[in-house]
Structure 1
Amino acid sequence: MNTENKIIIGRLESIDLPLLKIKDLQVRVDTGAKTSSIHADNIVKIIKDGKKCVSFDIHPDIHNVNKLISCVAPISDIRKIKSSNGESEQRYVIKTPVTLGAQKWEIEITLTNRADMNYLMLFGREALGTQFLVDASEVFLQSTGDAAE
């Protein structure tokens, strides 16, 4: 395996989701999860400009539940996803650009209730693609973040 051109990231990183107007969102990198997922409230299928979309609310700051971002995104897919507790659920999938460090690319994210989780977003292995290696002993290697867990 050629690891020479890979970017090393930690088990926690901070990303931007510019189309969703989210900056410095702390995410848990999870190579066991195929698809990335984000905690969303008030998930509703709508039609906007003749296209199937989903509207949803995100609280991007886990320490400030009063901060709310209302989002609308085209529905890319609806998938049956098995969560870590073994239960399956139908989830809306959206595609959106992501920035991690100096890297920018498009990822898929499923919308779900992650209220019981420590991090609002899981960054799954499909989002990692072939450009990253994960050092599970480190945090915030490509981003600034609060290193305290």
Structure 2
Amino acid sequence: MNSNTKTIIGRLESIELPDLAITDLQVRVDTGAKTSSLHVDNIVRFMKKGKPYVTFDIHPDIHNVSRLISCTAPLNDIRKVKSSNGEAEQRYVIKTPITLGDKTWAIEITLTDRSDMNYLMLLGREALGDQFLVDPSLVFLQTITKD
């Protein structure tokens, strides 16, 4: 894909995770991070019809911690991820659709404790694929379009 057909996004964007009922989530776009990560609490792994699942809680509005969304998703993987502080940890990985601007596609997200970070989610380079160019001097270039 050449650069003329790629969508330009900023270092901060607002996304939706429709299968998790999350709208207007501000994310930090991080091309230095391979995998996307999401801050969650109370992760529990369980089996449903012979398949592994996880439940977890998200506080999608950092300014309103009383708002809580409980989510359930199929477990896609468990992998060792090196965090920004250089320590490796085992993380659950889910695969779920994301909407950014007028595009929706499935991405992998690792579930972790990001409570010491400014943004609940990092959007990593694997999720960006070859469809976006990041302009780090700009923010919120893509707004989610509603029909």
Category of TM-score, reference length = shorter chain: over 0.9
Give the TM-score normalised by the residue count of structure 1. 0.94
Matched residue pairs, number?
144
- Spell out structure 1 runs of 4+ moving beyond 4 A: none
- TM-score computed with the length of structure 2 as normaliser: 0.96
Unaligned runs of 5+ in 1: 145-149
Match of 2:107 in 1: 107
CA-based RMSD of the aligned residues comes to: 1.0
Q: For residue 98 of structure 1, report the CA deviation from its aligned partner.
A: 0.5
Structure 2 counterpart of 1:83, one-letter code: S
Partner Cα distance (2:16, 2:2) in 1: 28
Q: Distance in 2 between matches of 1:46 and 1:63?
A: 31
1:143 deviates by: 2.2
Q: What does residue 147 of structure 1 align with?
A: none
**1:61-104 alpha-carbon deviations (Å, 9 max, x no partner):** 00000000001111100010000000000000000000000001
CA displacement 1:77-135 (0-9 Å, x = unmatched): 00100000000000000000000000010000000000000000000000000000000
Q: Which residue does 2:62 correspond to in 1?
A: 62
Q: Could you say what secondary structure the match of 1:11 adopts?
A: strand
Deviates more, 1:86-95 or 1:40-49: 40-49
Matched, 1:7 2:29: no
Q: Which runs of 5+ in 2 are unaligned?
A: none
